[in-house]
Amino acid sequence: MTNPIDLIASLGVVPVIAIERVSDAVALADALLEGGLPIAEITFRTAAAADVLAAIRDARPELCIGAGTILDQGSLRRAIESGARFALAPGFDPEIVDAAESLKLPFYPGIMTPTDLTLAVARGVRLAKFFPAGVAGGPKALSGIAAPFAHLGVRFIPTGGVTQASIGEWLDIPQVVAVGGTWIAKTDDIREGRFKEIARNAAAAVKAARQKLDERA
């Protein structure tokens, strides 16, 4: 089974998804797979998140599923029980970092400032979510924040405000492993059954990320 971070790094993009109904889980998974994107971050912003993870785990095990918006240890445990292979959070909570480590779940907390990153690095974090990436200043801001930590091998997944058009800008930063894409499978598109559109969005994101990753190679 592929290590989640290896898969994330090979794709360069992770769809970040808030899904409201378990009944849409398999159709969503199929749309992502059709678009060549065998990974998904299902955020715990909806009551359905854990059940969606379990439904995808059971029906489409070839899709690597992760949990997002993990704000407490209860959500962390539910994510693991539901089949999450990795997890992320919008901010840094050292207790959740420690809990994820003890449970052997790859966990990538969020940071926005050098202070956040200093605290995370001291806790052993070497891959962090940069959030909210657009509001926090975009690629130039992340480049500045990342520079003093580069010698430690710290890497990032910017999320929040990233667009199809800006994928290349973010992946121009050597420390960026991948971007998080909320535009790929929007809640409204899932609710309205626009799965062909989601597949097209996934394919376009994969293509844009692949072009930039090939340039970096």
CATH placement of domain 4-216: 3.20.20.70
Strands (E), the chain: 13-17, 39-43, 64-68, 87-88, 107-108, 110-111, 127-130, 155-158, 179-181
Q: How many CB atoms lie within 10 A of CB 99?
A: 17
Pairwise CA distance, residues 126 & 180, whole Å: 17
Considering Cα of 18, then 130, then 30, then 193, what sign does the dihedral take?
Answer: positive
Cβ atoms of 138 and 163 within 8 Å: the answer is: no
What pLDDT score was predicted for residue 217? 81
Q: Whole-prediction pTM value?
A: 0.97
What pLDDT score was predicted for residue 85? 98
pLDDT in tens, 75-113: 999 999 999 999 999 999 999 999 999 999 999 999 999
Q: With cut-offs at 50, 70 and 90, classify the pLDDT of residue 1.
A: low
Q: With cut-offs at 50, 70 and 90, classify the pLDDT of residue 122.
A: very high
φ, ψ at 15 (rounded to 5°): -70, 130
**Burial readout 30-42 (b: 16 or more C-beta within 10 A, e: otherwise):** bbbbebebbbbbb
pLDDT in tens, 135-168: 999 999 999 999 999 999 999 999 999 999 999 9
Cite the active site residues: 41, 129
Quote the radius of gyration of the chain (alpha carbons, Å).
16
Strands (E), 150-200: 155-158, 179-181
Cβ atoms of 86 and 70 within 8 Å: the answer is: no
- Domain segments of the chain as ranges: 4-216
pLDDT in tens, 24-55: 999 999 999 999 999 999 999 999 999 999 99
